[in-house]
Amino acid sequence: QVQLVESGGGLVQAGGSLRLSCAASGRTFSRYAMGWFRQAPGKEREFVTAISWSGVTTSYTDSVKGRFTISRDNAKNTVYLQMDSLKPEDTAVYYCARGVGSGIDSGFSSWGQGTQVTVSA
């Protein structure tokens, strides 16, 4: 089982940027899709974005399209989430997850512990 550790969260003003990182242990990181989810206070966890093992295919929820960018560096066993033009409604705990398979539609598991992102007005 892979271990995932998120970092890079913090407090920013609306319109600002953050880059989240997810470091993964394990020898097979590059074979699996990776994704980011988030959970705001009092709300359910929601899908944000995902990237295939090759990095060619990505998917974003509509609310973050044009503002967030997912990327990965398989040599470093790390996936990133660049978050630009942040809005107060982006405030949430952000979780990294590994896909069951190499494609973005195969489901996700091996959740990290999360990193807090807070966006002030």
C-beta neighbour count of 46 within 10 angstroms? 12
Half-sphere exposure of 109 (CA within 13 A, CB side): 7
Tokens representing residue 16 in the block: 């600002």
What's the CA gap between 117 and 83, in Å, rounded?
A: 10
Confidence of residue 2 (pLDDT cuts 50, 70, 90): confident
Tokens representing residue 44 in the block: 């359910």
- pLDDT one-digit tens code per residue, 55-92: 999 999 999 999 999 999 988 989 999 999 999 999 99
Determine whether 30 is exposed, middle or buried from the number of CB atoms within 10 Å of its CB (0-12, 13-18, 19+): middle
- pLDDT one-digit tens code per residue, 13-25: 999 999 999 998 8
